[in-house]
Structure 1
C-alpha cells in the first residue's frame, strides 16, 4: 500500500506522533549537527541580533526545510517550490524542472550539490554546476521524504514515512528488518547525532546505525532522546513541537513549536533530569506567536527560523546587549576597577549593578542622572533624590549645598559627575559645583567659568584637571588645587558646536559636539574626519585605548578607528581616517540620546560599555566577533543567459553586457562589497561596488573575460576569482575582411588618384609635344623655306658677280646661311620628337660637368645604372637645368675633392644623383633660407614639382651633400614610336595614356 501524506495531513500526523513520542520520552525530528563547538560566553535569546524577512522582502511562505550549500547560499524548501537566498534576494530556482512543488527535506553536501526531497518520494540532486538529476518510484518509496544526510563514508541516506533507503555508488537500496534491521513501521522522525550516528524513530521504538556499521541496532526511545541533545538522561520536549531542532554554538536547542520558536538550554551544573531553561524572543518585528515550521543553523552559527509568513534570522553580533530592563534604558553608568558596571536609571526604577547579571540596588528616592567612580573605588550617584556615595559596601547620602537644597535650584537634571585624582567631586547642573573635604563651592565661588549664555553639558576629570563642556562651542579647564581657569572658544580654534562629550587622549583631550569632533594638543585644535565625508557629529561617548584605538559612540552608531590609522592622522591631521561603523545590525540596542552624555565607558579586560535609549550593551574590543568565512562569488547571468557552459556568445551587433553576480553574505548583506573588471577592454581596472550587477556598454566585437570577487561584512575577500568568458560576434561591416577590403579600396583610390595625376601630366607632356611639332612644322614651312630661298638667290647673285672681293663676301654669306639651315633642321628634328636613339642626357651632363668644373680641382665621375633610354625632350630641358644647378653648387660652393653623378634608368623612373664630399650644410637651415630670392634651390624645387618628381637633399655639416632628382617614367621617357601620331588624330585617346612603364 502506498502511503502519501498531503501537507495538512503530514503536519497533523507529525505533531500527533511527536506528542506521543514526548510522552514516551522520544526526541523530536532530526537535526543535523556539524560537530561540537567550544561555546563562547552564553548569550540569552534577547542578546542575539534578530532580523525578520517578510513577504515585503520577498520571503516565501510555507517554508518546510532549510539547508546551506557549499557556496554558502541558504536554500528554502517550501510549498511553492525551491528558493535560494543570498542575503538580499529570494529567488525561485528550478521552478519547472523539479518533479514536485512541495519540498519537505533539503541537504547540502560537501561536494557542492543540493539534495531535494518532497511529496511522493521523489529525490533530486542539483550539482554544483546546476545539473539536475531526479529519482522517483521505482526505485524509491512513493512516500514523503522526511530526512536526508550523507554519512562520512559517502553513502546518502534518505528516510521517508514508510522506510529507509540509501544511495551508494549510483545504486539505490531499500533497507528492511530482515536485511539490515531497519524499521518497517511508520517513521515519525530521523536525525544524525553529534557522534555521526543515524537514528530512526517510530511510535514505540528507536533504531540506531553506528558509523562504519551496515546494520541498524534497536535501541530505546530514551537513548534517542539523549542522543538528540547529546545529554545523557535528558528527554524533555515541548508537547507542541512541530519540526526539526537546531543546536547553536552555546549548546542550546532552537525548537519549532505550534506557539513559536522556543530556545532551551540547561544551566551549568543542572542534573540530567532537570528541565531546561526556556526562552522565547520578545514580541516585535516577527510573528513570534505563529507556528514555527523549521529551524536551521548555518556554518556561520546563525539560526534561521521559519514561521507561516516570515523567515527570521538570529545571530550573535559584535555588540552584546545586557538583559533588557527598564532601568537600563537611557541610563547613566560607570565602571569600577573590578569590571562591575554601576547603572543609574533615569526613570523611577532602582539603580543596579551588572557583572554578568543585573542586581538591583536599594531605592535612592528618585531617578539617577549621573554616575561616577573615584580613584579609591568610591561610587557616586546623583539625581533628583539627592547625592549618594557607595564606599566599603555601604551607601550613604551626602548633603547638598544649601543652595542646591532649594527645589527651584534643581529643575535642571545633574548631567555630569567627575572625581579628580585628589578626591574632589565635581558636579554640573545649571552651573558647576565642587565638593572637597565636605565643603561645597558653587558657580558664585568658581570664578572665571562661563556663566552667561552657556549651559554646562559635560564634565570630565583628567588627573587633577577638570574639563567642562558647554553649549555655544565652549569648554573650560579648572586645575586643582588652585582652581585656575582657562576657557576655549571659537577664537581659539574650537569648532564643535554644543559640546556633548569630553575624553582623555594620550597626548591631549578629545572634544565632541553636535557638529564635529576635535582633538586638543598643545593648545591647538585639530578636527578628526573620516573617509567618505564623515564628520563624527553628535558623538556622546569617546574612549581612546592604550593600544591607540579610538572608539566613538554616537547617534549613527559605534565607530572604531584603528591605531595605525590614528597614528597616521596624528602625523597628518588633515587626512581622513578609515573607520568601522557598528549599529543595530551588530547588536547595538537603539541609539544614545544627545541629552545623555558619556555613553561609552571603558571597563575591564577590553570591554567597552555602550549606552543607548534602549538599554546598555558591551563589546569586547580585544576579541570583536568577526565573520571569517570568505564568501564564494557566483556569476548568475549575462544578458539574462546562464553562463554555466563556461563561455557565452552574445550574438552579432551586441554592444552591451549586463552581468548579474552575487555572493551569499547572510549576516549583514548590505555591507558586502564586490570588485570586478572586464579583461579585453582598454581599461581593465578593478571597480569596487556594493551592487550585485555590472553593466558594460559600447563593447566592440571580440572575446572578453569578466572577473569578480566578493568581501563579507568584515572585509574578508573571497579566496578565488569567479570568471566567465563571453564573445560578441561582429556584423559584416565589423569583420577584419570587410575592414581589409575598405583599406584596399582606399589604397586603390589613392593609387588611382596617383595614376590620374601621372596621366594628367602625361597629357600635358603630349600637348607640349604636339605644340613643339606645330612649331617645328611652321618653322620648316616658313623660316627654313625663306632661308633656302634666300640661299638660292644669293647663289644666283654670286654666280653673276665677277668681282672677286664681292664674290668672296657673298660666298661667306651663303656659308652662314647653310649653317643656319643645318641648325634649323636639327632644331626641327629635336622639336618633332622623331629621335629613337638612346638618351643623350649622360653626354650632356658630362659635357656640362667639364664646363662647370674647369676652374675646380675636384675630380668628376659619371656612373650610368641600367639600360639607357631616350629621354622626353619636353622633360629633358628641366632635368638638365636641375642637374646644372646641382653641379654648379658642388663645384663652386662645396669645396669638394670629388664630385660624382649617378644616372639610374629604371622601368618606372629616372633618377639623377649628384654627390660630393665637401663641407656639407644644415638642411633645415637651408630650407628656412630657401624663401629668400637668389637661391637656386627654389628653382630646382619648382622644376621638380612641374615634373611631379621627388627632390631630396641629404647633407650634414662636414659630411658632404647628396642631391637626388627622381622623375616618374611616364614623364621622363620618350613616348613609344607612333604614340604622338595616334594621339594627334584622337584627342579623347589621351586618357588611354597609362603608363607607368
Structure 2
C-alpha cells in the first residue's frame, strides 16, 4: 500500500499490504476465473461515498471490504460506504488509517498515521497502545503463531504479553532508524523487511540481519504458492533461503526486468496465478509462471496484456486485493475500482464496440447483423468477432431476415438486398415507396419475403413481384411493428400497437385481441415456445397457447417491461432483452407458472455489472435477441451487441451472509449485537445488509419477526425493516440474503426484548381492573343511594298521604260510626229485654263495633311511625302466632344482632315480605314447624323464614299466572328496599327464604 511520507523512498512501499494476506493462513479462498475472460470495470467515486485516497484494503470474515483512507476507516458492502462508528466504549482517532490486518479470530487491527494501534471486535474498539511510539504505523501483519507485528518509521514492534516490544538488530540494539517499508513472512516463517537501509531477514526466533543493499523503490509480493518476490526498480528476485535469489545484473545493463516497458512494478499475484503489474500508463497482467521462468532464465520473455487507465488516472499508491468471490480491487490515490469477469461479452469490430443492429441467424449457424454505420456483418458459427460483408454508412438498417435460403435486408437506397456470399443482389422496393416509407420488419416464410413498412403496411414479395396484401387479407390499416415467421405451421404473425396480433396462414388472416386475453400494447417480438408462442412488447411478456393469451408477471415487475427480444432455449429457459437488461427465467419457474398462473417466476437479470451496456431498442431494429446453433445467445442494445453461453455463465458460489448493521427506536441508536430497548418502546427500525461484492444489485433479502410476521417477508433489494405498535415481550428477528445467483446463506438472528412500561405491566392492568371495579361499585352504591332516596321520599309522601287519610277516617268516619253506635246503644237500651228487635239490634251493634275496631286497626296501620327492630319483630311474631293458632302449626321467632331503628318505608317493605313468606309457608307448605329470624348488624339487616314442609316451586310463581303474584310482590319490595332476596331448599327439607338489606343511611 503506498503511503505518501516525508522520506523519499517510502512512498509506495505499502502497495502490497492487501496482497500479502494470502501468504498467511486463509479463512476463505477466492474463486478462480479464466485469465482470458475480459474484465468489467466499476469505478467508485467520492460522489458515491468512496473515500480517497485509499491507503489500504482488507476483507473481513463477514465479507465486508474494509478501507483504510485519509478520512478514516470505512466499510463497504457493495452498495453503501459506511464510516466506522464504535458501538460502545472507546472510539477510533480522527486520523488517516495506514495499517490494516485481520488476526486469526477475525478481529480487525488498525494502525494510524499519527501512531496507535486499535483492535476492533464485534464493533467494540480496544486500544493496543502500550509500548508503541507515537509514530505512523505503516504496516500490520501476523505470523503463523498469530503474533501481531507493526512496522513504523522508528522500527519494528511485536505484540507480546499485552504490550509492544521493539525488535532488536543482530547486535542487540533497537532499530530506531530502520524506517520500515514493507514486511512479509515467507513459508518458512522468516520475516523479511525492506527499508532504505537495505533488505533485512529475521529467522524464526532470531534477530534481524541485513542481507542485501538498498536498491531504491521496491516491493515484496507473495504469489499463489506462498513464495515471496522482491520487486525492485531494476530487477525481480525471489526471497527464499537466507538471501534473495535471482539473476545477476549483466555488465552494462541498467535493468533486468521481464517486461519491456520503461517502468514496471509487480504489485500482486492472485490465486489464479495471474501477476499484476503497472508501468504508469496502465495495469499489466502476466502469468506468474512466466515470471518464475524469467527468474531462472533472464532470456525468457513474459507476454502481458494491458488494461489502460482512464483519463486523469494513475498508478500512484496502487494496491490490489482479490476478494473471496474472485473480484479484483484496485485502490490508489485517485480511485477505488473493481475488476470482474464479464458474463456478457461485447461484440467488437476492429477493437471498437458496435451500436444497435438487427439480428438474424441463417441456416449455416452464422449470425448476421444489419448495422447502422458498419453495414452488413457476419459472425460465422463458433466465431467471436464479426466480418464485414457489405460496408455501408448512414443508412436505415432496421430490417433483416435470414434463414437457410440466405440473407435479406434493406439497403441504404431503400432497396431490398439479397445476400449470398460473396455478393449481394438488390431488388427494388415496392413501386413509389423509396424515400417515402421506412422499413420496420422483414420476415421470410418459405419462398416468400414479407416486409412491413411504416405508412404503407404489409407487402409480400413472390414470384410475381411485390404485392400489398394488407387490404386483401383484411389486416388493420396501421403497419405492424413486428413480423415472425413460424415454420412449425407455416404461419406469419404480425404484432401491432393497439393490443392486436394477427396470424396469416394459408391465405387467411385471423386477428386476436382483448377478447382472447391480450392486454399488451406494442408487440415488438415473438418467439416459438413449447406448445405455444411467446410475445414481448412495451408492457412485458405474454404467452399464447393456441386459444388464449396470458401475461407473464415476474416476481419483480420492472425486468419484464419493454421487451423487444425473446428466445426459448432447448433446455426450456426463457431469455428476453428488455429496458432493464437481459433476463432469464428458469425452466422450473416457467413450469410452475404454466401450472399456476398466479405464480410469479423469479427473474435473473443481467445488466451493467455483467458487462451489458445500453438497453433494448423499443421501436427498431427488432427483434433484439437471437440464438445460434452453438448455444450462444445474442442481444442487441442501443450501445452494442453482446453474447453469452447459457451453459457457461459464471456463477457466484459464495452465499450471501446477511449482517445486521443498525438498530433504532425513535431517534435512539442501539447496539445491533444486543440492543437494550427502553421501556415502552413501540417502534423499531433494523438496517441489514449482505457483503456480496460481485453483483450487489442482485442481492435479495427475506426477513421475519417471530410473533409479528406470519412468515418470511420478501424485501427484495431493500435493506431495512420497520415495525410499529410492538407490544412488550421477547422477540427474535431473522434475516436471510441470497446472492445474485439465488444462493442463500443461513439466517442471521437478532434477539431482543422490549421491557414493559408500568402502564403495560400486568400489575397496572390489575390496578386498572380494580379501579374499574371500584368505580362500578361506587357507581352502583350511588345509584342505590339515589334510588333509595327517591323511594324514601316516595314512601314518605305515601305515608304522609296515609296519615292524612287516617286522620280523616279517624276524625270523620270512625267518630261518626262511634257516635252512631252510641245512639243505637241508647235506642237498644230503651227496648224490653225480651224484644226480638233489641236482640237483632244488639247483634248489629256488635258487628258495627267489630267493624269499627277493624277500621281502627287499619287506621293505625296507615299511621305506621318510625320503629325500631324490636317493634318490627313483635309485629311479625304476633302475625306468625296468629297464623299458627289458626292452623295448628308450631311457630318460633328469633331476634338477632343489635337493636336499631328502621325507617317507616323499610319497616313496611320488610313487614310485607315477611307477611307474604309466612302466609305461603302456613298455607301451601303443609309444615309441622315454621321458623322466623330477624336480625340487624353494621352492614345491614336480614330476615329468614323457613319451614319443614313439602316446599314449593318458585319457578312456577311467575308474573301473569293467575293466583301466583306473591313472589313477584316480594321481589318488587326487595328491589325498592335495595335488598337481595333468595330462597333455597335445605338438605333437611322444606323451603327457606332469605332477605338481606343494606344499612339504612
Relative to structure 1, the CA distance from residue 674 to residue 513 in structure 2 (aligned partners, 3 Å threshold; closer, same or farther) is closer
Relative to structure 1, the CA distance from residue 786 to residue 946 in structure 2 (aligned partners, 3 Å threshold; closer, same or farther) is same
CA distance in 2 between counterparts of 1:419 and 1:863 reads: 122
> What SS does the aligned partner of 1:836 have?
helix
Q: Does 1:526 align with 2:550?
A: yes
Given candidates 633, 642, 650, the residue that maps to 1:617 is 642
Aligned residue in 2 for 1:989: none
How far is the alpha carbon of 1:294 from its aligned partner?
A: 3.5
CA distance in 2 between counterparts of 1:862 and 1:507 reads: 104
Which range moved further: 78-87 or 271-280? 271-280
Aligned residue in 1 for 2:625: 600
Relative to structure 1, the CA distance from residue 418 to residue 62 in structure 2 (aligned partners, 3 Å threshold; closer, same or farther) is same
Relative to structure 1, the CA distance from residue 435 to residue 363 in structure 2 (aligned partners, 3 Å threshold; closer, same or farther) is same
Q: Deviations over 1:598-635 (max 9, x none)?
A: 22223467643222122232344455634622222223
Aligned residue in 1 for 2:110: 116
Given candidates 774, 782, 806, the residue that maps to 1:753 is 782
Question: Does the Cα contact within 8 Å between 2:656 and 2:692 map onto a contact in 1?
Answer: no
Aligned residue in 1 for 2:870: 836
Aligned residue in 1 for 2:122: 128
CA distance in 2 between counterparts of 1:356 and 1:189 reads: 48
Aligned residue in 1 for 2:833: 804
How far is the alpha carbon of 1:712 from its aligned partner?
A: 4.7
How far is the alpha carbon of 1:517 from its aligned partner?
A: 3.4
Question: Does the Cα contact within 8 Å between 1:103 and 1:119 map onto a contact in 2?
Answer: yes
Aligned residue in 2 for 1:384: 411
How far is the alpha carbon of 1:252 from its aligned partner?
A: 3.8
1:178-193 → structure 2 map (5 Å cutoff): 178=170, 185-191=178-184
Which range moved further: 114-123 or 566-575? 566-575
Relative to structure 1, the CA distance from residue 97 to residue 720 in structure 2 (aligned partners, 3 Å threshold; closer, same or farther) is closer
1:696-711 → structure 2 map (5 Å cutoff): 702=728, 705=731, 707-711=733-737
CA distance in 2 between counterparts of 1:803 and 1:405 reads: 163
Aligned residue in 1 for 2:233: none
How far is the alpha carbon of 1:844 from its aligned partner?
A: 5.5
Aligned residue in 2 for 1:274: 301
> What SS does the aligned partner of 1:543 have?
strand
How far is the alpha carbon of 1:592 from its aligned partner?
A: 2.0
Relative to structure 1, the CA distance from residue 771 to residue 411 in structure 2 (aligned partners, 3 Å threshold; closer, same or farther) is closer
Question: Does the Cα contact within 8 Å between 1:646 and 1:725 map onto a contact in 2?
Answer: no
CA distance in 1 between counterparts of 2:19 and 2:174 reads: 17
Q: Does 1:946 align with 2:946?
A: no
Q: Deviations over 1:357-398 (max 9, x none)?
A: 7444254243776666646xx8646452875666xxxx3335
Aligned residue in 2 for 1:990: none
How far is the alpha carbon of 1:591 from its aligned partner?
A: 0.8
Relative to structure 1, the CA distance from residue 784 to residue 466 in structure 2 (aligned partners, 3 Å threshold; closer, same or farther) is closer
Given candidates 497, 503, 515, the residue that maps to 2:527 is 503
CA distance in 1 between counterparts of 2:805 and 2:719 reads: 90
> What SS does the aligned partner of 1:149 have?
strand
Relative to structure 1, the CA distance from residue 441 to residue 159 in structure 2 (aligned partners, 3 Å threshold; closer, same or farther) is farther
Aligned residue in 1 for 2:32: 39
Relative to structure 1, the CA distance from residue 950 to residue 338 in structure 2 (aligned partners, 3 Å threshold; closer, same or farther) is farther
1:466-485 → structure 2 map (5 Å cutoff): 466-472=491-497, 475-477=501-503, 484-485=507-508
Could you state the TM-score of these two structures normalised by the residue count of structure 2? Answer: 0.73
1:216-235 → structure 2 map (5 Å cutoff): 227-228=222-223
Which range moved further: 360-369 or 730-739? 730-739
Aligned residue in 2 for 1:552: 576
Relative to structure 1, the CA distance from residue 647 to residue 350 in structure 2 (aligned partners, 3 Å threshold; closer, same or farther) is closer
Question: Does the Cα contact within 8 Å between 1:678 and 1:704 map onto a contact in 2?
Answer: no
Q: Deviations over 1:624-653 (max 9, x none)?
A: 6346222222235443333268343537x8
Which range moved further: 640-649 or 73-82? 640-649
Given candidates 321, 324, 332, the residue that maps to 1:299 is 324
How far is the alpha carbon of 1:792 from its aligned partner?
A: 12
Cα RMSD for the two superposed structures = 5.9
Relative to structure 1, the CA distance from residue 642 to residue 187 in structure 2 (aligned partners, 3 Å threshold; closer, same or farther) is same
Given candidates 110, 128, 142, the residue that maps to 1:150 is 142
CA distance in 2 between counterparts of 1:524 and 1:755 reads: 77
Relative to structure 1, the CA distance from residue 129 to residue 161 in structure 2 (aligned partners, 3 Å threshold; closer, same or farther) is same
1:419-818 → structure 2 map (5 Å cutoff): 424=447, 426=449, 428=451, 430=453, 442-443=466-467, 448=473, 453-455=478-480, 457-463=482-488, 465-472=490-497, 475-477=501-503, 484-490=507-513, 493=516, 495-530=519-554, 536-573=560-597, 577-594=601-618, 595-603=620-628, 607-622=632-647, 623=649, 625-626=651-652, 628-638=655-665, 639-643=667-671, 646-650=674-678, 657=684, 660-664=687-691, 666-669=693-696, 688=715, 691-693=718-720, 702=728, 705=731, 707-712=733-738, 714=740, 716=744, 719-727=747-755, 729-730=757-758, 736=764, 739=768, 742-743=771-772, 746-747=775-776, 749-750=778-779, 752-753=781-782, 756-757=785-786, 760=789, 767=796, 803-805=832-834, 813=845, 817=849
Question: Does the Cα contact within 8 Å between 2:276 and 2:286 map onto a contact in 1?
Answer: no
**Length, aligned pairs only:** 919
Gaps of 5+ in 1: 20-26, 855-859, 956-960, 971-992
CA distance in 2 between counterparts of 1:549 and 1:899 reads: 101
Question: Does the Cα contact within 8 Å between 1:192 and 1:198 map onto a contact in 2?
Answer: yes
